[in-house]
Each structure stands twice: as C-alpha cells, then as structure tokens.
Amino acid sequence: MGAGHSSSCSLSLPTTIGFAAATTASPVNKLIKSPFNPTNRFCNTHFRLPFKTSIENQLSNSTLSVVKCSGCSTVEDIKTQGEIGVKNPMAHPHSIDQELLEQLVYDALVWSSLHGLVVGDRSVQRSGTVPGVGMVHAPFALLPLSFPESRYRQACELAPIFNELVDRVSLDGNFLQDSLSRLSSPVALFAPIGVRDITCPALTKKVDPFTSRLLEIHSKMLEIDKKEEIRLGLHRSDYMLDEQTNMLLQIELNTISSSFPGLSSLVSELHRSLLDQYREHLKLDSEKIPRNTAVSCFAEALAKAWTQYDNPRSVVLIVVQSEERNMYDQHWLCTLLKERYPFCHACKLIYIRIQQYRKSVSLERHFFNVFRCFPQLINTHNVTVVRKTLTEIDAQGELLPDGTLIVGGKEVAVVYFRAGYAPTDYPSELEWGARLLIEQSSAIKCPSISYHLAGTKKIQQELAKPNVLERFLENEEDIAKVRRCFAGLWSLDDVEVVKDVISRPELYVMKPQREGGGNNIYGDDVRKTLQRLQSEGTEEDAAFILMQRIFPTITPTILMRDGIFYKEDAVSELGIYGAYLRNKEKVLANDQCGYLMRTKVSSSNEGGVAAGFAVLDSIYLD
C-alpha cells in the first residue's frame, strides 16, 4: 500500500514480519548517510527544490538553511536538525548516552513481552498458525517521532470526511464500473499529439485479472439490485509530510484490512511508559503522545454493527489468511469484542442471570433490545468471534433463502476482512466462491465489494480530477480540505505527464491496483517500465497510475528488531484510522479512531511493517 519518499509504509498483511535494510546487527551501529534525491519543481503547490542533502551535513550546520522556492518571490528560512537537537533528544537520539540507551532498550523489550506487543517469528515454522508459538516483539521505534501538532490535527479532521466520501462513492455503481473499466489506450498514450483521440479498449479489468474478478462480483450485485442497508467501514488514510512544502499529502486510502489497530495502540503506550520512567533523563512529556484508541474504536464499531444486525446469537466472522504472523494484532480486537468493561456490578449480574434463565429466543431478543437502548447500564460487547479463511468459508458456508449467512453452523452478523485484498488470497475458484457467497448474503460486510473498490488506486486518481469530488460532497470547505491533501495523481493516458516521467522518473511512483506493500515501481525502473509498455504497445498501462513522489523529512532514529537496536536515518508515514457505520439514512458512527505511525530506513523503497520494511512508531506532538 502506498508510495512516499522511497515508498509508503504500507500495512496490508503479507505474512513476513520485520524490518528490512537495517545496518549490521550490533549493539551500536554507525549512522547511515541517507541523502535526499533531487526534486525539481513540478507544480506550484507540491514540488519544491531540495536543500541540504544529508542528516550529518545538517547537524554540522548551526545556521539557518535558506531555500529559494522555484517560482516563488520569497525566501523561506528552515531550521536545521542541529538546532532542534539541542532542545529535544528525539531530534538526535543517536547521541543518547550508551548506558541509558541500553536501559531503554531492555525495558522496552520487557514491556513489549508483558503487554502483548508481539508478532510471530518468521524463523519459526508454526508461528503463523499456532498462537503462542514463536512469538517475538513487533518491530518498533525506541522513541516516538516528533510531529507537528497542526498537521496531526489536520489529518484527524479529514477522517470523517473521507469516511463519508467512501460511503458515497460506494453507492455510485456506475462511477466505480466506469472508472475501473475506463479506456486507457496505448495508442493515445504513445501516439503523436494529433493522434491522441484514437482509442482502443485497454480496460483495467482486461489487463488486471484480480480487479476484473472484483468488478464481476460488483456487477452481479448491481444486476440483482443488492442493497447494503447497514454499511460498515474501518478505514485508514495514510499521509506523509512533505519537507519542502510542509504539506500533509495523502499516500492512499485503505478500505480493506486496515491493520495494526491493536499493536499501534500498544506502541503509543510503550512510549508513554518509557517517557514517564526516564522523564528525568529524557526531559520529555509523555502527555504529548496522543492517546491511541484505534483498537477500542474499531471494536466499538464492530460491536455496534453486530447490534444493528439484531440477533444476539449471531457472530462476527473475521476473514483471515491461513498463515498469519500478525495474528496478535487481530486477537487484540477479538478480545475487546468479548471483553466486559467496568460498569454497575448489579446490572452485570442481572444480565448474566437473564442469559442463564432465558426461556426463548424471543425473550432473549427482548432483553437484548432493552440493553441495546441503554448501553450505559451495561457497557459490554460480549460478541462471539469466529476466524475463518476464504477456503474454510467456501467449505462450511451456506446461504439461506432469506439471505442469512451460515458458516460452521453459526449465523454471521458481520464479516470483517483481514484478508481478501490480494490475488494470493484467492488461489482457486473456491475462494472466489466464498467472496461471492458473502456478498450475496445479508451479513454486514467490512468492507462490502463496493467499499473495497472505492479504495483502489484508480478511484483515488479519479477523485483527484477536477470537479469529481463535487459529485460526492456538497460542503465546499470539506472539498477544499480533501483536495488540499491530494498529491499529484495521473493516469497513463496523460501524454504530457508521461513525457515528464520518462525524463524525470525520480519524481514519480508507478502504482498498480494492489494492496499489501512491495508492489510499487520507483526511480529508473519507472522509465524502463514505461518504455517497455511503449515498445510492446501493450494494454497493461491501464493497470497502473502515476503518483507524485513525496520527499518527507529524514530524521535520525533508533529501530528495534529481533531484540537488537539499530541507529538509522529514517522517514515516517502517518495513518489515521476512521470508523463509519450507517443504517439506511441514519449515520450511527463517523469517527476518527486513533493513528498508526510507521518509520522505515530512508533508503528503503518499500515500507510495510508486515512486509518487513518498517517499524511501528508513535507521535510526539510539537
């Protein structure tokens, strides 16, 4: 998922865990020089000229770096990392005293082990299938990342707007079908200007079999006029802070398998604990780390959706991969769905007694509805959670005449996808059959097929076109906020942009319609790919979009992986979680739900934590 300085820090869930491109595994590692790639100005609002190219050069400079903006009439003064480092140890953590550093590392590892900040160890064969086998701490940054509070608040304010946008886009079936099947002709792409109007059918669905299958399911739902009256979305919008423009730019919007709400919440608490414990040495205020309620908010949204389904004996079905080393992040969510929070003890006893002595399903449903109307009396989810792969759902699932989904003998109220976002999740027709079965049912899907398609790269690029947002949003202020965070996005039928990409590929990222990390194309590979498409005259270009490459600030940090710390230069990406629940015309929830900060070595071209490129981090507001 995503693209950024060298990439995004994507968080779909391939099975390998860890952090790539680290330095030699030793107690203390030398600082890696990570120079900025040159960026020439492409447009007035997004592309700016670079300044000092390496962290070490910036640290050695005690004066202001002066940047002359291309096309601007003013000169901007930018503080160096060296100035910041005097005030804040997070700006230069590599200078932390060795003895103190070792104490921090030890206590962080203990905390992680005791509090469940763990993943499956990829070196242990059964760590992705059997809970408790081969656990290792999740990769994390030792200290939180300094981040501008104004930009963090901006990202949080965008969450409800994007939630609503996804819902409205999902209801426009023609827009989804037309956008993902749009002509993107190689004749138009590489022909002379005078021949650009010549088109041939290079449909996304023709050159991308995976997207094609998703579109087929969506088309079938349109044909039978399948209405999703109760719609649940658990999203994450990912951003990077562009250093030169100081703009918060969106990398992508994830509508399926927005992972790590559990572990990201734990990393925030880990950092708060370390800052409290070492307050005298670090001189940092733990209250400047925002409370991260991602996992509890997601659980609350799933519980509300389950309640709306209105059957207390129904279950929440989580669709998972057969081997999942990130299972503990998922189990945190499952646990909260079943957990009983503190409330009036007498009310709890009454509720338990009702469950023990219920005479009929109708009586049970009556009390269920009573407590649903008065949640303050009994603050509990008590939801049964079932985990199944798509293969298991195909074997155990059935659809009743009224649309009820039964899996393993249990009625399913909510289907929550933590798999199903990549072609590898559908190795045979059995898995596609399971996905179709789910979509045809009356169960609440998270996401539905239309929500899934609304989060594709192509739809992201379509929404960035002039006047398209106005099709879905009425509030002019909301439209302006959303448009302000858009990075440059283009289809490959934009001839002028393609010419510029071939001449300056370092300024762009080429992105396929894929989730999960490790799929994007960078640097000179972008030029080579475009030239290959040009020489072959292929329709494959319709499966890609082009995105402006973002150049975030490079900062020194300390990364933890497999019990070893690494001193690195790194870049970070901020993800803001959002939850949306609607029943017909009534919006029951539209919230910002915590955050995910991922940090990776600045030289890495990809950035997924689960894919082994990045580590989990948190925010220190400044």
Average pLDDT over residues 250-261: 96
Per annotation, catalytic residue among 462, 515, 539, 540: 515
Average pLDDT over residues 2-15: 39
Q: Which residues pair with 486 in a beta bridge?
A: 250
Structure tokens at 572: 């970070």
Integer Cα distance of 17 and 326 in angstroms: 8
Instruction: Check pLDDT > 60 for residue 337.
Output: yes
Quickly state the pLDDT bin for 198 (edges 50, 70, 90).
very low
Sign of CA dihedral 136, 141, 142, 148: negative
Known binding residue 125? Answer is no
Select from 349, 125, 276, 259 the least CA-distant residue to 610: 259
Q: What percent of the chain has pLDDT over 70?
A: 71
Average pLDDT over residues 28-53: 33
Instruction: Check pLDDT > 80 for residue 462.
Output: yes
Known binding residue 610? Answer is yes
Integer Cα distance of 316 and 303 in angstroms: 9
Instruction: Check pLDDT > 80 for residue 369.
Output: no
Which residue carries 């300044």 as its tokens? Answer: 51
- The pLDDT value recorded for residue 181 is 84
Known binding residue 220? Answer is no
Backbone torsions φ then ψ of 130, nearest 5 degrees: -115, 115
pLDDT tens-place string over residues 128-175? 999 999 999 999 999 999 999 999 999 999 999 999 999 999 999 999
Integer Cα distance of 241 and 298 in angstroms: 26
Known binding residue 548? Answer is yes
- The pLDDT value recorded for residue 7 is 40
Backbone torsions φ then ψ of 64, nearest 5 degrees: -80, 135
Known binding residue 612? Answer is no
Instruction: Check pLDDT > 90 for residue 178.
Output: yes
Integer Cα distance of 439 and 228 in angstroms: 9
Rg, Å, the chain Cα set:
25
Known binding residue 514? Answer is yes
Decide if 235 contacts 255 (C-beta within 8 A). yes
Q: What is the DSSP letter of 594?
A: E
Known binding residue 395? Answer is no
Report angle CA 466, 472, 478 to the nearest 5 degrees.
80
Sign of CA dihedral 125, 129, 132, 137: positive
Average pLDDT over residues 533-556: 83
- 378 vs 93, 133, 341, 371, CA distance in Å? 46, 36, 9, 7
Instruction: Check pLDDT > 70 for residue 200.
Output: no
Instruction: Please confirm, yes or no, whether 254 is among the known catalytic residues.
Output: yes
Q: How many other C-beta atoms are found inside a 10 Å radius of the C-beta of residue 591?
A: 17
- The pLDDT value recorded for residue 26 is 38
Instruction: Check pLDDT > 90 for residue 32.
Output: no
Instruction: Please confirm, yes or no, whether 516 is among the known catalytic residues.
Output: yes
Which residue carries 């409205």 as its tokens? Answer: 168
Instruction: Please confirm, yes or no, whether 511 is among the known catalytic residues.
Output: yes
Integer Cα distance of 557 and 617 in angstroms: 10
Which residue carries 């072609």 as its tokens? Answer: 423
- 599 vs 244, 474, 521, 557, 608, CA distance in Å? 19, 36, 20, 9, 9
Instruction: Check pLDDT > 70 for residue 256.
Output: yes
Structure tokens at 125: 């064969």
Integer Cα distance of 234 and 317 in angstroms: 15
Instruction: Please confirm, yes or no, whether 598 is among the known catalytic residues.
Output: yes
Instruction: Please confirm, yes or no, whether 259 is among the known catalytic residues.
Output: yes
Per annotation, catalytic residue among 112, 146, 163, 259: 259
End-to-end CA distance of the chain: 28
Known binding residue 398? Answer is no
Select from 38, 84, 39, 34 the least CA-distant residue to 61: 84
- The pLDDT value recorded for residue 170 is 98
Residue 187 CB partners (closer than 8 Å, separation 6+) = 195, 198, 199, 200, 537
Average pLDDT over residues 448-465: 95
Quickly state the pLDDT bin for 599 (edges 50, 70, 90).
very high
Per annotation, catalytic residue among 181, 598, 602, 605: 598
Integer Cα distance of 23 and 32 in angstroms: 8
Structure tokens at 412: 């399913």
251-255, 506-510, 529-533: segment of lowest average pLDDT: 529-533
Integer Cα distance of 258 and 326 in angstroms: 12
Per annotation, catalytic residue among 231, 435, 457, 567: 457
Instruction: Check pLDDT > 50 for residue 227.
Output: yes
- The pLDDT value recorded for residue 115 is 97
Integer Cα distance of 356 and 321 in angstroms: 35
Quickly state the pLDDT bin for 35 (edges 50, 70, 90).
very low
Known binding residue 325? Answer is yes
- The pLDDT value recorded for residue 4 is 46
Per annotation, catalytic residue among 7, 163, 254, 296: 254
Known binding residue 290? Answer is no
Quickly state the pLDDT bin for 273 (edges 50, 70, 90).
very high
- The pLDDT value recorded for residue 380 is 62
Strands 65-68 and 75-78, by their bridges, are antiparallel
Instruction: Check pLDDT > 90 for residue 401.
Output: yes
pTM of the complete model: 0.79
Strands 586-601 and 405-407, by their bridges, are unpaired
Integer Cα distance of 128 and 606 in angstroms: 23
Per annotation, catalytic residue among 516, 575, 578, 612: 516
34-48, 194-208, 534-548: segment of lowest average pLDDT: 34-48
- The pLDDT value recorded for residue 70 is 33
Known binding residue 154? Answer is no
**Structure-derived torsion over alpha carbons of residues 52, 58, 61, 63, reported in degrees to the nearest 10:** 70
Scored b (16 or more CB within 10 A) or e, 309-325 reads: bebbebbbbbbbbeebb
Mean pLDDT of the chain: 80
- The pLDDT value recorded for residue 338 is 87
Instruction: Please confirm, yes or no, whether 182 is among the known catalytic residues.
Output: no
Instruction: Check pLDDT > 80 for residue 466.
Output: yes
Average pLDDT over residues 511-536: 80
Instruction: Check pLDDT > 70 for residue 291.
Output: yes
Instruction: Please confirm, yes or no, whether 567 is among the known catalytic residues.
Output: no
